[in-house]
């Protein structure tokens, strides 16, 4: 299922925008710790771009930037944490969370993993590559293969809605993000993530439906930012 599992379009569209905005607000707040000006803060610039693409209201966006940069008088600290384990049928996954209450989050994640298996640190991450993930839209006749070679990306593949996903070495994420526009690509998101080395395949339709239901429940949790799954297809 690629580098990152996402809900099916129909189900994704049914999600409340408030939940989508909630995840984006957290990313904006974390990025804004390094400065409230998107022109001088590359991570914030990309987070703001994603928020605008999702039609986040300007006052919500501005409030998130000020809160993250410590300019609003409010103190909210989000911590990034990873959980590793297996979905049904031994499908490995890594769940990335942003939380302001670690004890609450771990307790709720344990409950969500009841139909799977929650493991310890390193229990499945050895079966994933830690990489840079860049989603970008081609303009005109932009060539993804040429852009990947010239920008220094390791690989590329088709993404949602005609976009291209470029995969990089973690240390090259920023350099490739800056280079891609020169080859006709508009970058929408750039982050570190995980890609499975040995994705599970050949599940029956019934088994796949069970895995999908498990993943949807995980992804629906307010503290979950990304779900990386070792599942082919």
Q: Is residue 2 part of a domain?
A: no
pLDDT in the model for residue 76: 73
Does residue 40 share a domain with residue 124?
no
Domain end position, chosen among 21, 45, 68:
68
Same domain, 154 and 222: yes
Return the number of other C-beta atoms located less than 10 Å from residue 20's C-beta: 16
* Phi, psi values for residue 80, rounded to 5°: -90, 130
Here the tokens at position 8 are 């099916």
Please tell me the predicted confidence (pLDDT) of residue 11. Answer: 47
**Number of folded domains in the chain?**
2
How many C-beta atoms surround the C-beta of residue 202 within 10 A?
8
- φ, ψ for residue 187 (rounded to 5)? -80, 130
Mean pLDDT value across the chain: 89
**End-to-end C-alpha distance for the chain, whole angstroms:** 5
Question: pLDDT-derived band of residue 7, with 50, 70 and 90 as boundaries?
Answer: low
Q: Is 0.95 surpassed by the pTM of this model?
A: no
Query: Mind listing the pLDDT tens digit for each residue in 159-214?
Result: 888 899 999 999 999 899 989 999 999 988 888 899 999 999 999 999 999 999 99
| Domain extent for 98 | 78-233
| One domain for residues 31 and 90 | no
State yes or no: pLDDT of 62 exceeds 70: yes
Task: Say which range, 10-19, 101-110, 142-151, has the weakest mean pLDDT.
Answer: 10-19
- Which pLDDT score, from 0 to 100, does residue 10 have? 45
Q: How confident is the model at residue 16 (pLDDT cuts 50, 70, 90)?
A: low
208 and 172 co-located in one domain: yes
Cα 210 from chain centroid (whole Å): 22
| Nearest-angstrom CA–CA distance, 46 and 189 | 6
Domain assignment present for 1: no
Specify whether 62 is located in the same domain as 106.
Answer: no
Q: Select from 32, 48, 68 the last residue of a domain.
A: 68
Question: Are 53 and 126 within one domain?
Answer: no
Task: Check which CATH number belongs to the domain holding 183 and give it.
Answer: 3.30.70.980
- The residues with which 195 forms a beta bridge, in sequence order, are 129
Least confident of 6-15, 85-94, 101-110, 120-129: 6-15
Do 33 and 89 sit in the same domain of this protein? no
| Residue 54 predicted with pLDDT over 70 | yes
Rounded-to-integer distance, Cα 21 and Cα 204, Å: 35
Q: In which region does residue 194 sit, left (phi positive, over 0), alpha (psi from -120 to 50) or beta (all else)? A: beta
Provide the pLDDT confidence category of residue 8 given band limits of 50, 70 and 90: low
Q: How far apart are CA 156 and CA 153, in angstroms?
A: 8
């Amino acid at each position: 299922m690629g580098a990152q599992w996402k809900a099916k379009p129909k189900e994704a569209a049914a999600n409340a925008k408030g939940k989508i905005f909630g995840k984006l607000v957290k990313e904006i707040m974390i990025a804004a710790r390094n400065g409230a000006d998107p022109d001088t803060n590359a991570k914030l610039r990309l987070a703001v771009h994603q928020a605008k693409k999702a039609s986040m209201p300007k006052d919500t966006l501005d409030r998130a930037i000020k809160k993250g940069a410590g300019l609003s008088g409010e103190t909210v600290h989000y911590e990034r944490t990873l959980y590793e384990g297996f979905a049904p049928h031994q499908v490995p996954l890594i769940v990335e969370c942003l939380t302001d209450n670690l004890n609450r989050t771990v307790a709720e994640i344990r409950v969500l993993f009841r139909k799977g298996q929650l493991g310890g640190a390193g229990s499945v991450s050895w079966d994933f590559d830690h990489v840079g993930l860049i989603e970008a839209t081609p303009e005109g006749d932009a060539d993804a293969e040429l852009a990947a070679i010239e920008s220094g990306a390791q690989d590329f593949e088709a993404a949602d809605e005609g976009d291209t996903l470029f995969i990089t070495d973690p240390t090259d994420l920023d350099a490739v993000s800056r280079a891609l526009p020169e080859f006709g690509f508009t970058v929408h998101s750039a982050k570190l993530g995980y890609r499975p080395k040995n994705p599970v395949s050949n599940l029956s339709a019934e088994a796949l439906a069970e895995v999908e239901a498990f993943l949807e429940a995980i992804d629906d949790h307010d503290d979950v930012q990304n779900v990386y799954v070792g599942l082919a297809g």
